[in-house]
């Protein structure tokens, strides 16, 4: 028997659901859809998500704690290793694993890396293989694609879906609930994520940069919150620094006459206001931190480190 909002309930289910996959398969899009609001940054570029983030979906019968994870990939930097470690930790904590794959493409080395780690989990949690982006797959290719991915994770239950348009998402949610064990309420019913508003705001600035900047710049960007001041009914004032790895990238982020930085700031401010429900004054500046993706002190400064037990 479990207390939910002051009432005693029976047969309450709760647990952690790891959403894992290679970069850019739609993990954050799926999380935002289930929560009905944007708590995780999304962009067309891979490796938008860099840290584990909880998304908490509570009803009178259950509490699902989704773990949105960085995309598993072959790392080139210390940052990439941290991101893979974040995804691996989520697997170890999960009551149910949802392996999200891009059905519009055949499996590659990153898919194989991830599914090998999932298959090696002991004890083995319930596994769901979710074929995302099926709306982009030609009908004549669908059965072959299903077979290709099922071969990577034979023990998993397979389900096609589209996180973008919602196709199959209700079936996936029902399948997760069937596999979640009975348990207590871990979080308050009105809590939807473990990230503070300032953390989400920083990710939304980086999301805006990912959308607007050219190919060679985005993955070398980090965002630090320097100030977050509440102004009562007038909203909030936020100061952030965008870090890049090269002096030439600083000029690209700022743009001619500051136009690119203004474009990034405007897009980010609109998303932050939609997320927070109030007006925001956003101040951005740009600094160079050479090779920060390989420097432990820099990674720690930007929040890319795992707490030691």
Q: What is the CATH number of domain 197-301?
A: 3.30.300.20
pLDDT, tens only, 94-119: 999 999 999 999 999 999 989 998 99
Q: Tokens representing 134?
A: 């099926």
Calculate the CA 82 to chain-centre distance.
Answer: 14
Query: Binning pLDDT at 50, 70 and 90, where does residue 7 land?
Result: very low
Query: 6-20, 187-201, 243-257, 267-281: which has the minimum mean pLDDT?
Result: 6-20
Query: Binning pLDDT at 50, 70 and 90, where does residue 46 land?
Result: low
**Residues linked to residue 56 through DSSP beta bridges, in sequence order:** 65
User: Are 216 and 138 a contacting pair, CB within 8 Å?
Assistant: no
pLDDT at 211: 85
User: Are 102 and 132 a contacting pair, CB within 8 Å?
Assistant: yes
Query: Binning pLDDT at 50, 70 and 90, where does residue 234 land?
Result: confident
- How far is residue 154 from each of residues 11, 93, 129, 179, measured CA to CA in Å? 30, 22, 9, 17
Calculate the average pLDDT of the chain. Answer: 89
pLDDT at 90: 87
pLDDT at 4: 47
Interacting residues of 222 by C-beta distance below 8 A, sequence separation 6+: 206, 242, 243, 289, 292, 298, 302
| Domains of the chain by residue range | 2-179, 197-301
Residue 214 vs residue 208, higher pLDDT: 208
pLDDT, tens only, 121-170: 988 999 999 999 999 999 999 999 999 999 999 999 999 999 999 999 99
- How far is residue 252 from each of residues 247, 270, 291, measured CA to CA in Å? 9, 22, 17
User: Are 146 and 23 a contacting pair, CB within 8 Å?
Assistant: no
pLDDT surpasses 90 at 13: yes
Q: What is the CATH number of domain 2-179?
A: 3.40.50.300
Average pLDDT in the 193-214 region?
88
pLDDT at 74: 83
Radius of gyration of the chain from its Cα atoms, rounded to whole angstroms: 20
pLDDT at 309: 44
pLDDT at 10: 59
Closest alpha carbon to 54 in 5, 100, 26, 94: 94
Residue 225 φ/ψ, nearest 5 degrees: -85, 120
Average pLDDT in the 80-88 region?
87
Residue 305 vs residue 172, higher pLDDT: 172
pTM of the entire predicted model: 0.86
pLDDT > 70: percent of the chain: 92
Q: Left (φ > 0), alpha (ψ -120 to 50) or beta: where does 180 sit? A: beta
pLDDT at 244: 94
Count CA atoms closer than 13 A to 2's CA, side-chain side.
18
């Amino acid at each position: 028997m479990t207390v939910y909002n002051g009432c005693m309930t029976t047969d309450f289910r709760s647990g952690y659901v790891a959403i894992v996959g290679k970069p850019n398969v739609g993990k954050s899009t799926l999380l935002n859809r289930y929560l009905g609001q944007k708590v995780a940054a999304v962009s067309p570029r891979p490796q938008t998500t860099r840290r584990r983030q909880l998304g908490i979906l509570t009803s009178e019968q259950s509490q699902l704690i989704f773990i949105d994870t960085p995309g598993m990939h072959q790392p080139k930097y210390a940052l990439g290793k941290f991101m893979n470690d974040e995804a691996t930790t989520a697997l170890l904590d999960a009551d149910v694993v949802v392996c999200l794959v891009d059905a519009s493409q055949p499996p590659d080395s990153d898919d194989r890396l991830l599914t090998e780690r999932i298959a090696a989990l002991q004890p083995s949690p319930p596994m769901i293989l979710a074929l995302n982006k099926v709306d982009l797959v030609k009908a004549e290719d669908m059965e072959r694609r299903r077979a290709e991915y099922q071969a990577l994770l034979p023990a998993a239950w397979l389900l096609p879906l589209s996180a973008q348009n919602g196709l199959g998402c209700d079936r996936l949610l029902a399948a997760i609930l069937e596999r979640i064990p009975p348990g207590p309420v871990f979080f308050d019913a009105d809590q939807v994520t473990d990230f503070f508003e300032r953390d989400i705001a920083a990710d939304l600035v980086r999301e805006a940069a990912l959308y607007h900047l050219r190919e060679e710049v985005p993955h070398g960007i980090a965002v630090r919150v320097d100030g977050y001041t509440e102004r009562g009914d007038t909203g909030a004032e936020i100061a952030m620094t965008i870090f890049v790895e090269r002096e030439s990238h600083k000029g690209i982020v700022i743009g001619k006459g500051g136009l690119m930085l203004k474009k990034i700031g405007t897009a980010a401010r609109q998303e932050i206001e939609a997320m927070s429900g109030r007006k925001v004054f956003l101040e951005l500046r740009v600094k160079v931190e050479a090779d920060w993706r390989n420097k432990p002190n820099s990674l720690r400064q930007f929040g890319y480190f795992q707490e030691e037990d």
